[in-house]
Structure 1
Amino acid sequence: MTAIDLRLDGLQPADEHTAELADRIWPNHFESISRHNVGERSFIVAFDRTATWDYPNARNIVSFDVVRDSSQATYSLRSSRHATLAFAQNWLVNRGCPPDVFALTGDVIKPADEMTVRVEDRIRRSGTRLEVVDYLVMDGGDLDGWSMAVDREDEVLPVRVFLEELQPDQGTYTVREGAFADFAAAGDWLEERSTPLPEAPEYRLEAETLRTSAALSRTAAALPQSSTPVTTAATPVGPTQSPGRSL
């Protein structure tokens, strides 16, 4: 991964918050994960290499929203810390970044499978539906981490656990979403992990829809196709013949 470049040469902070934030940021401490530029605006996700020496369980993924005004020679800067990549991207999407532009940059680990891609895409596009309330950061030699969130649109299984696991030998990772009725159930599962992560209902419904579509496609393909031309000439309707019935 490469150090982030905020492209601030010749620009001054546009407000007090930006000035204070800029004083605390050393670009060389951050490694770029993904970036999207739109005109004078940049949406950046980076890894904070110094977080491992911060307080325990310090969030080490940071989102940056940089808005430059070359006509005024100023810039504004906002940032947010997260425990997992997709929630860092969600923060940027909520600030106007398109959800489909987060190509990973540099030598970073990749999603291991299609399910990981689907779960992360759900997080990115969730708006403010998912509120993170707890997390465990992956740091150093850790092979897994998680974010616990409340799904504001689910009254039955509102507590969601997004479990991230690394496969260092393959340079990949997986993300899975589990659904629970309350915090106690979610906490118990994270503590024990004696059963599979309870699958969120969204993916069961999606899988059922895909299976139904596939079955309908197979049925349509198996139907015999007639090679006999269809006669379209109209047949007069007689007194003993029902309208619309062909001979």
Structure 2
Amino acid sequence: MSPTEPAPVRKTIPHVDFALDDLDSDEERYFDFYRKVAVHEDMLVPLAEHHDGPNSYYVLFDRAATWGPGMPQVLAVHVQRDQEKRTFSFEQAPLPLPAMAQSWLIHRGCPPDAIGLDPELGPPPADEATRALERRLVRDGDRYAMNYSYTSDDPDDMVIVVVLQTQDEHTPSPFRVVVEEVDTETWTHTLREGGFDTAGEALQWCDDRLTGEAGLLPPVRPAATASRSAGVAKAAAPRPSGRSR
């Protein structure tokens, strides 16, 4: 969801400050941080950030990522500073959805109630179903591994598809497809989830959605009605190469 799109009310888009100028880290670490995070610093929009002593947590929208078709446009960054040694370390992860970035940071020590998204940046949730699924992704994101994602910022069909694989092989519908769609007329977004038994089925649904041929998402099967054999995840299909719309 792009903070660069017009919205009815919008404050000035803020800039990110990593506050590393006074730290004398080694050259290799600075280069690694520049290459992975700060290379497009002027294109990074902080959707959320929290600072707690030596730790800083950022959910960033990368406006430069739109140049790479299908690439995740959200960047989660955790910076740790050692003021006595005047050095820093960092972790980063490009992710397709802000809720996934929030979850990633929370599981690296960020207080859950301190990394809320700026409501004036990006389209707000369209309904309670979207808000509920986002809360669950933030809370339970560590239970899933990302298998595949594709972000389309086509103004006629702004959509993000994500395939998640549960870490528990006995969970019903072990592969989940999460779909975010933006309504450019109302400037809101919806988030929906479907359940699949195999990675191949989930990936095929994503391909069909990106070409406008997908049917409704199949529901996630409840644990109480899932058979033990159906709950065993099959081997994940290799990520297809050269995917494009």
TM-score w.r.t. the length of structure 2 is 0.74
Counterpart secondary structure, 1:12: coil
Q: Which moved more, 1:171-180 or 1:96-105?
A: 96-105
- Which residue is equivalent to 1:167? 183
Q: Distance in 2 between matches of 1:57 and 1:91?
A: 21
Counterpart secondary structure, 2:140: coil
* Structure 2 residue 18 is the aligned partner of structure 1 residue 6: yes
- Which residue is equivalent to 2:165? 150
Once superposed, what is the RMSD of the aligned Cα atoms?
A: 2.5
Name the amino acid aligned to 2:190.
T
- Which residue is equivalent to 1:58? 71
Give me the identity figure in percent.
30
Contact 1:63 1:88 in 2 (8 A): yes
- Which residue is equivalent to 1:75? 88
* Structure 2 residue 202 is the aligned partner of structure 1 residue 186: yes
Contact 1:52 1:140 in 2 (8 A): no
What is the CA deviation profile of residues 200-220 of structure 1, one whole-angstrom value per residue up to 9, with x for unaligned ones?
Answer: 246999xxxxxxxxxxxxxxx
**Structure 1: segments with no counterpart, 5+ residues:** 206-247
- Which residue is equivalent to 2:230? none
Rg (Cα) greater in structure: 1
- Which residue is equivalent to 2:121? 107
- Which residue is equivalent to 1:197? 217
Counterpart secondary structure, 1:86: helix
Counterpart secondary structure, 1:126: helix
What is the CA deviation profile of residues 105-145 of structure 1, one whole-angstrom value per residue up to 9, with x for unaligned ones?
Answer: 24322122221122112112225310111111132524211
Q: Distance in 2 between matches of 1:107 and 1:127?
A: 22
Q: Distance in 1 between matches of 2:223 and 2:28?
A: 45
**Structure 2: segments with no counterpart, 5+ residues:** 1-12, 226-245
